[in-house]
Amino acid sequence: MPEETLIIKAGSKQTVWEDAPISRRIIVESGAKLLHYRLQEMPLTQTNNSETIIEVQENAVYESFILQTGAEKSFLKTVVNLVGEKASAFIGGIYLAAGKQKLRLETEVYHKAENTISEQQVRGVAADNAEGEFVGLIDVAGGVKAIIGNQMHKALMLSETAGVKCVPELAIASEDVKCTHGSSIGMLDENQLFYLQSRGIPLSQARFILTSAFLAEILNTITEENCLQNFRQKVETWLFVNMK
Amino acid sequence: MAWFKITNLDAGTGDKQILSDFNLEIKPGEVHAIMGPNGTGKSTLTNVICGNPKYTVSKGNIEFKDKDILSLPPEERAGMGIFLGFQNPIDIPGVSVMTFLKYATNAQRAFKGLEPLDAPSLLKKVKLRAQALGISDAMLKRYLNVGFSGGEKKRIETLQMTMLEPDFAILDEMDSGLDIDALKVVAEGVNVLKSPERSFLLITHYDRLLTYIEPDVVHIMVAGKIVRSGDKSLAKELEEKGYAELINA
Ligand SMILES: Nc1ncnc2c1ncn2[C@@H]1O[C@H](COP(=O)(O)OP(=O)(O)OP(=O)(O)O)[C@@H](O)[C@H]1O
Ligand SMILES: [Mg+2]
């Protein structure tokens, strides 16, 4: 259980950038907004097991993006509790796994108050013999009204030996709820590859372009410009290294 | 050897044979049209010429510019100057039209041993050609083909052709889904490219396209092979009589 606690003061707006996973509690007080950007690019000699627990109070906004590419084995968990009315959370995430890495991204969102909104958008790429996994939960407490919760996971496997798992879970005890969830896992689309090749683009470059585009769609949801550039560059670098 | 020639070609997908003993020769500067009933193998033919790995060739060969191209990957055939305007252009989410044109233009320049085109020149070239085809700046910024209407997709295919200036353009139902004004615009896009060195293979169901782009030869294709060839009057005749009467005649 995390011991450290970070408090985002009522009504304030803050951007927090994490270079490495930190297990801690975060409280986003009423009316505050937190932009939370997190990177997990630990060396392959290490393993990670971390958990962040966020409490989002009345009218507060929690907006987060996670990029996970490091560690031999990683288990990165995020728990969001929407405890005040009109609280909202957006969690975007990318995991990129290569070699023999086993990377797991887990997000749990608990809607504990009325009129709360959550969105989880995760994309993953697994190359070589790597394994990626997304575990996502939307939990709506009994009697809590006017809830919107969306969860989407998409993953690309770049080799026959890579693996991806998705465990989506909905636990809904209320009736006034609009929730969607979905997952799609597959290889690069052959029709798209041929379309690019038919324009003169070599196969290896076509694979690179399509994988990069797959991730660009979700990277483009990052609202903070510097963080966006930073993540974009790290993703491109990973693709260059792992898609020779 | 020949400029473009298909000889005794059998091709298909999986267990299904679609083209059988198919023959076609096109000389530089010629415009050919292929017409034929649905499901007869016209799009399959275009895919086989361009090297779509979904289709396999079991017999025959295809020559282009005195080279056997069947063993070449699709990108090298494109690099030699073959272009396919798709009947059903593919969506590429995450890649804007503009970015895609940059990739394609520079990939083809690389085949010619040329440096990538600098950004301002590329932008200028794209804008000029887009304008001629009635394509807005907003559309150039959108993800390629994602949510585009049928007619918009065909304009974007035409834009790619006018950007890449291929030596041999195969246009698979460029006219389907286009309104009359757009049809004229797209036909104009083809006509400005016409030259003694450049050839076209137009696949169409309608005589109308061929009144805007005049073909030298019209072929009727049925069940995987060409059953009749003639001049442009054949298209008119087909329009009047339909396939059944024409083929049995
Ligand atoms: N990838 C594929 N898998 C299975 N069948 C296919 C495939 N591609 C083509 N076919 C079949 O081969 C036949 C020829 O298809 P093709 O698309 O070449 O026809 P077409 O002449 O272009 O028809 P249209 O005028 O409707 O465009 C059809 O029966 C089609 O269903
Ligand atoms: Mg067709």
Choosing from B9, B10, B15, B16 the residue with most ligand 1 atoms within 8 A of its CB, the one to mutate for a pocket test is B16
Task: Pick the range with the lowest mean pLDDT from B23-27, B119-123, B207-211.
Answer: B207-211
The answer to pTM > 0.90 is yes
Chain B residues within an 8 Å CB radius of A152 = none
Substitution target in B75, B82, B87, B170 with the highest count of A β-carbons within 10 Å is B75
The answer to whether the CB of B42 falls within 8 A of the CB of B172 is yes
Nearest CB neighbour to A217, from listed B93, B108, B160: B93
**Residue B205 pLDDT more than 70?**
yes
Residue at A230 is within a domain:
no
Chain A residues within an 8 Å CB radius of B78 = 197-200
**Residue B182 pLDDT more than 80?**
yes
Percentage above 90 pLDDT, chain B: 88
Residue at A237 is within a domain:
no
Q: What was the ipTM of the complex prediction?
A: 0.96
The answer to whether the CB of A138 falls within 8 A of the CB of A109 is yes
Chain A residues within an 8 Å CB radius of B91 = 192
Residue at A110 is within a domain:
yes
Residue at A223 is within a domain:
no
Residue at A198 is within a domain:
no
The whole domain housing A126 covers 4-188
Q: Output the pLDDT for position B242.
A: 87
The answer to whether the CB of B49 falls within 8 A of the CB of B82 is yes
Residue B91 DSSP one-character state: P
Give tens-digit pLDDT for A39-70. 999 999 999 999 999 999 999 999 999 999 99
Instruction: Using CA coordinates, name the residue in chain A closest to B100.
Output: A196
Give nearest CA residue, ligand 1 atom 18: B41
**Taking residues A5-11, what's their average pLDDT?**
97
User: Is the CB of B160 inside a 6 Å radius of any atom of ligand 1?
Assistant: no
Q: Output the pLDDT for position A1.
A: 59
The answer to whether the CB of B177 falls within 8 A of the CB of B205 is no
**Taking residues A178-202, what's their average pLDDT?**
96
Give the Cα separation of A94 and A75 in Å (integer).
13
Nearest CB neighbour to A198, from listed B78, B94, B100: B78
| CA distances (Å), origin B16, targets A165, A190, B13, B23, B60 | 35, 19, 5, 19, 17
Among A30, A25, A69, A15, CA closest to A50: A25
Q: B114 at the A interface (CB within 8 A)?
A: no
Exposure string over B28-37, b if 16+ CB within 10 A, otherwise e: eebbbbbbbb
Residue B9 DSSP one-character state: E
Name the phi and psi angles at B64, rounded to 5. Answer: -140, 130
Give tens-digit pLDDT for A125-183. 999 999 999 999 999 999 999 999 999 999 999 999 999 999 999 999 988 999 999 99
**Taking residues B226-234, what's their average pLDDT?**
94
Give tens-digit pLDDT for A81-129. 999 999 999 999 999 999 999 999 999 999 999 999 999 999 999 999 9
User: Is the CB of B15 inside a 6 Å radius of any atom of ligand 1?
Assistant: no
Give the Cα separation of A68 and A70 in Å (integer).
6
What is the domain count for chain A? 1
Residue at A241 is within a domain:
no
With a CB-CB cutoff of 8 Å, which residues 44-63 of chain B face chain A? 50-54
With a CB-CB cutoff of 8 Å, which residues 180-239 of chain A face chain B? 190-192, 194-203, 205-206, 209-210, 212-217
Give tens-digit pLDDT for B24-81. 999 999 999 999 999 999 999 999 999 999 999 999 999 999 999 999 999 999 999 9
- With bands split at pLDDT 50, 70 and 90, how would you rate the model's confidence at B240? confident
Domains of chain B: 4-248 (3.40.50.300)
Q: What is the DSSP string of chain A?
A: ----EEEE-TT-EEEEEESS---EEEEE-TT-EEEEEEEE---TT-EEEEEEEEEE-TT-EEEEEEEE--SSEEEEEEEEEE-STT-EEEEEEEEEE-TT-EEEEEEEEEE-STT-EEEEEEEEEE-TT-EEEEEEEEEE-TT--SEEEEEEEEEEE-STT-EEEEEEEEEE--SSEEEEEEEEEEPPPHHHHHHHHTTT--HHHHHHHHHHHHHHHHHTT---HHHHHHHHHHHHHHHHHH--
The pair of structure tokens assigned to B170 is 């195969």
Residue at A16 is within a domain:
yes
User: Is the CB of B42 inside a 6 Å radius of any atom of ligand 1?
Assistant: yes
